[in-house]
Each structure stands twice: as C-alpha cells, then as structure tokens.
Amino acid sequence: MTDWRALARTRVSIALPGAAFLVGWIALLELSARNGWTNRVFSPVPSKIARALCEVLATTAFIDALASTMWLLALGYFSACIAGVLLGLLMGYNRRAYFLFEPTLELLRPIPKPALLPPLILLFGLGASMKVSIVFLGALFPVLINTIQGVRSVDPVLVDVARTFRCGVLRTVFRVVLPACMPIVLAGMRVSLGLGLVLVILAEMLTGAHGLGAQLVDAQRAFRVQEMYAWTVVLAALGVALAVAFNLVEQRLISWSSKR
C-alpha cells in the first residue's frame, strides 16, 4: 500500500527549495527597487505590479484584449491543426504526394516565422487576417512534420488488419492510421500551440491595435511601467492555462498510449 503521507512529505521536500527561491527572488526585486539599487522607474516592483494587475483585470479592456487574442489564436491554430493533419496523412500515406510537396515545404519550413510578418502585413494589412495567417503558418509545420512521421511509424500489422477486413482507404486512414499516430500528432500540436501564442502576441505588438500584445506595447510606450509588467504576468498565466488545457485534452484522447 502506498503511504500517502510519506508521498506528500516527499513532494513537499522536492517543491520547497523551488518555492523558496521564487519567493526570495520576488522579495529581492521589491527590496532593490525600494532601496534604489536598481533603476527606480523601469524596474519591476512586485507590490506595484500586483496593484496594477488588479486594476487591469477589473477593466473591460482586459476582457476585450483577451477575447481578441484568443479568437485569432484559435482561428489560426485550429485551421493549422486540421490542414497539418490532412496534408500530413496524405504525404505520409502516399509517396507521390510526399515527393510533390516535400521540396516546397523544406523551403518554407526553415524560415523563422516572424520573418514572414513584413510580407504578410503587405499582403493582408494590419488586421485580423494577417494575424491569423502568421499563426497558421507557424503552427502548421510542427503538426505537419509530426503527422508525416507518425503515419510512417504506424505498425504495419494494424494496416494489414484493416486490409484483411476489407477497409477502404478512407476508413483505414481515419479509423486506423490517424488514431494510431495520435500520440505523435499531439506532440506536434503542443509545440504548435506555444509557437502560435508567440506569433499572435508578436503580431499584435507590431500592429498595436487590439489584443494582449497591443496592450503590452501601449503600456510600455506610455511609460505605465508597472502596468506593462502586469500584462506580462497576464501572458504568463495565459501560457500556463493553455498548456494545462492541452494536457487535459491530450489525456482524454490518448490515455490508452501510456497504459499500454
């Protein structure tokens, strides 16, 4: 039987040093700002950030910015996931399709995705379609590459089972190949989600009209320094929330793969 108390004690003893270091670091920031060891205007002051954060969270501007950012991220991310999986299944399953698309993809893939922002701004302007496009392009490749890899790593016995039961191509691909490579596909989707968040914030910072990225830059340009830090905290929390949500979805979808 598991000794839950001993387990809890072990967990606390593992987590304690990390928590203590974090608290110490925040206290040091507070002390150094108050005592003038660092720049009084620009340095983060935890107590003031906390107050600014409370003010920010109470405004409708916060809800608007969060909704705007999340909406663009969702549009770009989910369309990239769907396109990446479909194209990945096609390229992983069909050699001709692979050799047709592979050179183009290898050319586009190494481009650091922020470098696509200037051309996209010219093509789509500063509005939502530009931001959705950059998220889409950034999020596409990890999903696509992992899906191709995943399809190729599927156990041929599973495909033979589908064949002996006379499954057509579509049934084999969507009922056997896709579920079998889901763990690898989801690993790609996890990378894409992080990348998508980076790109939507970056695009908003450049255009400065709507969204969390725009609020961050606005606060900085207006020298509302502690508010700027408050928006950074909001973004950190958003990153954590997305990762947690992703884990929950992943666990539901592929709980079988860890238990096997």
Partner 1 sequence: MSEAALQTVPMASSSTARPLLALHGIAKTYASPDSSVPAIESINLTIQSGEFVSIVGPSGCGKSTLLQIVAGLLRPSAGSVQLEERPVSGPPEGMVCLFQQYSRSLFPWLTVERNVEFGFRHLRDESRAAAADRCRRFLAMVGLEDFRARYPWELSGGMQQRVAIARALAAEPRVLLLDEPFSSVDALTRLELQSLILDLWSAAKLTIVLVTHDVEEAVYLSDRIVLLTRRPARIAEVFSNGLPRPRRPVESREDPRFLSLRHELLSRLLRTQ
Kindly write down the DSSP assignment for every residue of 76-89, as one continuous string: HHHHHHHHHHHHHH
The answer to the question of residue 166 lying near partner 1 (CB under 8 A) is yes
Cβ–Cβ under 8 Å, residues 49 and 233: yes
- Considering only 25-33, 105-113, 242-250, 252-260, which stretch makes contact with partner 1 by CB under 8 A? 252-260
Q: How many CA atoms lie within 13 A of 107 on its CB side?
A: 5
Alpha-carbon distance of 142 to 132, in angstroms, equals 17
Name the residue nearer to partner 1 (CB basis): 60 or 164: 164
Closest by CA to 72, choosing from 172, 200, 189, 158, is 200
The answer to the question of residue 252 lying near partner 1 (CB under 8 A) is no
- The backbone region for 45, taken as left when phi is positive above 0, alpha when psi lies in -120 to 50, beta otherwise, is beta
Cβ–Cβ under 8 Å, residues 165 and 171: no
Applying CB under 8 A, among 55, 64, 102, 155 the residue interacting with partner 1 is: 155
Q: How many CA atoms lie within 13 A of 34 on its CB side?
A: 9
Give residue for tokens 């003038």.
36
Applying CB under 8 A, among 95, 96, 252, 260 the residue interacting with partner 1 is: 260
Name the residue nearer to partner 1 (CB basis): 173 or 242: 173
The answer to the question of residue 157 lying near partner 1 (CB under 8 A) is yes
Applying CB under 8 A, among 14, 110, 164, 252 the residue interacting with partner 1 is: 164
- Considering only 28-36, 119-127, 168-176, 217-225, which stretch makes contact with partner 1 by CB under 8 A? 168-176
End-to-end, the C-alpha distance of the chain in Å comes to 23
Name the residue nearer to partner 1 (CB basis): 55 or 160: 160
Please state at what angle helix 225-259 crosses helix 46-58, rounded to 10 degrees.
Answer: 80
The answer to the question of residue 152 lying near partner 1 (CB under 8 A) is no
Token output for 85: 């999986």
The answer to the question of residue 167 lying near partner 1 (CB under 8 A) is yes
Alpha-carbon distance of 46 to 26, in angstroms, equals 7
The distance of closest approach from Cβ of residue 157 to partner 1 in the complex, given in angstroms and rounded to an integer, is 4
Cβ–Cβ under 8 Å, residues 196 and 135: yes
Applying CB under 8 A, among 165, 222, 223, 236 the residue interacting with partner 1 is: 165
- Considering only 48-56, 95-103, 176-184, 192-200, which stretch makes contact with partner 1 by CB under 8 A? 176-184
Applying CB under 8 A, among 9, 109, 152, 175 the residue interacting with partner 1 is: 175
The answer to the question of residue 55 lying near partner 1 (CB under 8 A) is no
Applying CB under 8 A, among 171, 174, 236, 237 the residue interacting with partner 1 is: 171
- Considering only 44-52, 144-152, 170-178, 196-204, which stretch makes contact with partner 1 by CB under 8 A? 170-178
- Where is 95: in which H helix or E strand? helix 95-108
Q: Which residues bind partner 1 (CB under 8 A)?
A: 155, 157-158, 160-161, 163-168, 171, 175-176, 179-180, 182, 254, 256-257, 259-260
